[in-house]
């Protein structure tokens, strides 16, 4: 029986853990990854106080601090939450279960998938949703990047510095990415734009051998020989497994008040899974601290965390 | 004419400046100090990502980053804000004035004063509101600390490590500070508790020579020979000079929505001057980023800062 289970180990969840642990709450973090969205930023400059660094490095520091203050970390996908007599029970995809008195939902957004043949089969074995994390595997090899937004265009640019050849596959003719980034892309000699095209299938036996694409205008089909596929088509909110407990908005984001309270007493939420409009590391961290202190206050009968500077 | 003037240079104001500058907004910070409340924490452990350090050092990093991204800094007390045709005009106590299109109020709380004779005269010259900042001046000398909350008790403990003798003057017999801290205090051989007592006068000609105190129970008066007086009786909110523009709550804090919007278009607020219940550096920083991005969005006609991860 933990005092607190935090689902998610990005900036919000890890900061929440730092705060609950410093309040001596017995804390377990359950997450499918460590670092969340911040990992995807190769050069984070706007998190105050640290100077520029890779997002992965910054999140490693958050992790070291959370673990250092006593948080436990279990890797896995939480997919079931039930109310119990004294709190909550969190079930994982591998059928493990953990119990807690209070719960902080901080697992952010989940990368969107294409839903095509071969995608799931090769996920983590040639198909990836994180250029920054997995690009080193494709040094001097050929890759495809799917998408048309900033993440895809920046991912293609980053790939071009390490991969031999990069195909950027985008279903439209124009990009939603910033113009300056698209301009850089067009000047990259080893990037080939595959526009008006959608991926149809990831091809391969044991490894990825290529990707089949179809031109949505000409209906022409072709196969591109690649060793890796990066899917950069955005994120979805997955709150289906908690909607019987907490209220969500029309985007399925978990509704919170300004302190991270959800509609269910004992469940708190913070970070990109909430309607916060700005997806920034320092904002997720700040809201993680709020949710943790509000959680502490709730567990201690309201006398806890409201720090009173007026003595 | 600045795009943005930020009043206050603590964690909230400085983070706001980092964000406005990175959006290429021409930014001026006006403040009576650099660092705000974070300066008072000698060992900040719960700001994620940096590891433990002195609050002053952490705030110096924030400052270096804000200035590095292009923010200008003017030291001074803003005490007048007026609406102009194209924005706002901020007046300072020294009669300087600066104009801007948008304003971010992030100046936090102001240390409470005792209102006794000699206090103002020796402020900054023997009387201080910040143990952490000014204690080194009193090495091997005698000091008085006024107050009964955590700040005062921690201030007295900290003083005892450097000063020769420390008087803790408190108007009641019991402390509101945490028990564990009070226990440490009682075990400090060079700390003398002066309870049920209020300070009546700071004594001195060119320098502080002592402090007159009166026992509120026995009415006995006495003088303590000290070289320094630390006032640690809390903070007040001073929003008198902006209340003709923005709505405040019953504590005179500036009311904001979850993005830092005040009741006045073009004026944003964040940090300890707002009703945020938790006074933490990372929370102030997160809310500073929100206010800055909302400000950017407002200046650019609503198309600005809402970062869309869904491409």
Tell me the residue length of chain A. 311
Percent share of chain B, pLDDT over 70: 97
Mean of pLDDT values over A130-138:
81
CA distance A46 to chain B (A): 7
Domain boundaries, chain A: 2-111+235-299, 127-231
- In sequence order, the β-bridge partners of residue B215 are B197
Nearest by CB to residue A306, choosing from B62, B277, B306, is B277
Does the beta-carbon distance from B306 to A22 stay under 8 Å?
A: no
Q: Is the dihedral of CA A157, A163, A165, A170 positive or negative?
A: negative
Residue bearing the bigger pLDDT, B255 or B135: B255
Asked if domains A2-111+235-299 and A127-231 share a fold, the reply is yes
Return the minimum-mean-pLDDT range out of A109-113, B107-111, B129-133, B195-199. Answer: B129-133
Pairwise CA distance, residues A128 & B176, whole Å: 55
With tokens 């049920």, the residue in question is B196
pLDDT average, residue stretch B191-197: 97
A271 φ/ψ angles, rounded to the nearest 5 degrees? 85, -160
Q: Most A CBs within 10 Å: which of B170, B280, B311, as the mutation test of the A interface? A: B311
Top-level CATH class of A2-111+235-299?
Answer: alpha beta
Which of A15, A112, A150 has the CB atom closest to B282's CB atom?
Answer: A15
How many Cβ atoms sit within 10 Å of the Cβ of residue B67? 16
* Residue B134 designated active-site: yes
Cα-based angle A74, A80, A85 (whole degrees, multiple of 5): 95
Residue A46 with chain B: CB contacts under 8 Å: 18-19, 22, 289
A201-222 residue pLDDT tens: 999 999 999 999 999 999 999 9
Q: Say whether A146 sits in a helix, a strand or coil.
A: strand
Tokens of B69: 């991204």
Task: Give yes or no for residue A305 having a pLDDT over 50.
Answer: no
| Tokens coding A129 | 């949703």
Q: Is residue A47 predicted with pLDDT exceeding 80?
A: yes
Q: Are strands B78-83 and B88-92 parallel, antiparallel or unpaired?
A: antiparallel
Q: What per-residue confidence (pLDDT) applies to A310? A: 26
pLDDT digits (tens, 9 = 90+) for B111-128: 888 999 999 888 778 998
3-state secondary structure of B297: helix
What DSSP designation does B39 have? Answer: G
pTM: 0.75
Using an 8 Å CB-CB cutoff, list chain B residues near A15: 48, 282
Tokens, residue B198: 């209020």
Q: H-type helices in A23-115, by residue range?
A: 55-68
- Measure A47 CA to nearest chain B CA, in Å: 8
Identify which of A156, A177, A154, A151 has the alpha carbon closest to the alpha carbon of residue A167.
A156
**Is pLDDT at B307 greater than 60 in this prediction?**
no
Mean pLDDT computed over B193-211: 96
For residue B219, give Cα distances in angstroms to B174, B225, B233: 18, 19, 21
Residue B209 confidence (pLDDT) above 90: yes
CATH number for B127-231 (one of 2.40.10.410, 3.60.10.10, 3.50.50.60, 3.40.50.11540): it is: 3.50.50.60
CB contact under 8 A, A51 and B37: no
Within an 8 Å CB–CB cutoff, is residue B76 touching chain A? no
The mean per-residue pLDDT over the stretch B30-50 comes to 87
**Are A11 and B48 in contact (CB < 8 Å)?**
yes
Tokens of A307: 């720090």
Cβ contacts below 8 Å, chain A against chain B, sum to: 151
The strand pair at A27-31 and A2-7 is best described as: parallel
Strand runs labelled E in chain A:
2-7, 27-31, 72-75, 78-83, 88-92, 97-105, 110-111, 127-128, 142-146, 165-169, 191-194, 197-204, 208-215, 221-225, 228-231, 235-236, 267-269
Pick the residue from chain B with its C-alpha nearest to A15: B48
Structure confidence by residue, pLDDT tens digits, B73-84? 998 889 999 999
Give yes or no for A277 touching B (CB within 8 A).
yes
Cβ contact (<8 Å) for B51 and A37? no
Would the pLDDT of A307 be above 50? no
Dist CA A115 CA A117 (whole Å)? 7
Do residue B285 and residue A285 have CB atoms under 8 angstroms apart?
Answer: yes
Average pLDDT over residues B290-298: 94
Comparing CB atoms, the residue among B150, B151, B282 nearest residue A289 is: B282
**Above pLDDT 90, what percent of chain B?**
71
Q: How far apart are CA B68 and CA B57, in angstroms?
A: 16
Contact A279 B309 (CB under 8 A): yes
Q: Any bridge partners for residue A78, and if so which?
A: A92
Predicted pLDDT of residue A176? 82
B131 in Cβ contact with B293 (< 8 Å): no
Which residue reads 């209020």 in tokens?
B198
In whole angstroms, give the CA distance from residue B134 to residue B39: 11
Helix (H) or strand (E) holding B291: helix B281-299
CA A157 to chain CA centroid, Å, is 21
User: Which one is catalytic: A130, A264, A270, A295?
Assistant: A130
Minimum CA–CA partner of B309 in chain A: A234
Confidence of residue A113 (pLDDT cuts 50, 70, 90): confident
Active-site residue B142, yes or no? no
Query: Which carries the bigger pLDDT value, residue A182 or residue A30?
Result: A30
- What are the pLDDT digits (tens) for B129-140? 888 777 888 999
Residue A302's pLDDT is what?
58
For residue A170, which of A189, A191, A152, A188 has the smallest C-alpha distance? Answer: A152
**A274: which DSSP letter?**
S
Average pLDDT value over all residues in chain B: 91
For A309, B70, B73, B74, B101, the CA distances from B2, given in Å and listed in that order, are 33, 12, 12, 13, 7
Q: Which of B109, B233, B287 sits opposite A286 (nearest CB)?
A: B287
Average pLDDT over residues A90-97: 91
Name the A residues in 168-207 with CB < 8 Å from any B CB: 176
Does B270 participate in catalysis according to the annotation?
no
Residue A309 has pLDDT above 60, yes or no: no
Lowest mean pLDDT among A174-178, B78-82, B254-258: A174-178
Q: In chain A, whose CA is at the least distance from the CA of B47?
A: A15
- pLDDT score, position B302: 59
Q: Do B48 and A37 touch (CB under 8 A)?
A: no
Asked if the model's pLDDT at residue B101 lies above 90, the reply is yes
C-alpha pair distances (Å), B275 with each of A48, B71, B84: 23, 27, 27
pLDDT digits (tens, 9 = 90+) for A185-206: 889 999 999 999 999 999 999 9
- Residues A236-251 have a mean pLDDT of 95
- Facing B289 at nearest CB: one of A109, A147, A282: A282
């Amino acid at each position: 029986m933990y005092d607190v289970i935090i689902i998610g180990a990005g900036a919000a969840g890890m900061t929440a853990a730092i705060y609950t642990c410093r309040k001596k709450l017995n804390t377990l973090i359950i997450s499918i990854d460590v670092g969340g969205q911040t990992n995807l930023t190769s050069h984070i400059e706007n998190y105050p106080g640290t100077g520029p660094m890779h997002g992965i490095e910054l999140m490693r520091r958050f992790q070291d601090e959370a673990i250092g203050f006593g948080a436990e970390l279990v890797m896995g996908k939480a997919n079931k939450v039930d109310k119990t007599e004294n709190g909550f029970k969190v079930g994982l995809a591998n059928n493990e279960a953990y119990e807690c008195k209070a719960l902080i939902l901080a697992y952010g957004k989940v990368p969107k998938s294409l839903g095509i043949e071969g995608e799931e089969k090769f996920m983590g074995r040639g198909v990836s949703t994180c250029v920054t994390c997995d690009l080193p595997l494709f040094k001097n090899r050929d890759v495809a990047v799917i998408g048309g937004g900033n993440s895809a265009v920046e991912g293609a640019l980053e790939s071009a510095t390490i991969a031999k050849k990069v195909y950027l596959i985008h279903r439209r003719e124009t990009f939603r990415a910033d113009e300056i980034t698209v301009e850089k892309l067009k000047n990259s000699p080893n990037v080939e734009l595959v526009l008006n095209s959608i991926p149809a299938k990831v091809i391969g036996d044991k490894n990825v051998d290529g990707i089949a694409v179809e031109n949505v205008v000409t209906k022409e089909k072709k196969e591109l020989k690649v060793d890796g596929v990066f899917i950069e088509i955005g994120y979805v909110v997955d709150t289906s497994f908690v909607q019987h407990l907490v209220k969500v908005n029309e985007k399925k984001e978990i509704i919170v008040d300004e302190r991270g309270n959800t509609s269910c007493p004992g469940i708190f939420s913070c970070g990109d899974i909430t309607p916060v409009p700005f997806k920034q590391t320092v904002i997720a961290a700040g809201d993680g601290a709020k949710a943790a202190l509000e959680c502490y206050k709730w567990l201690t009968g309201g006398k806890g965390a409201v720090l009173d500077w007026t003595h």
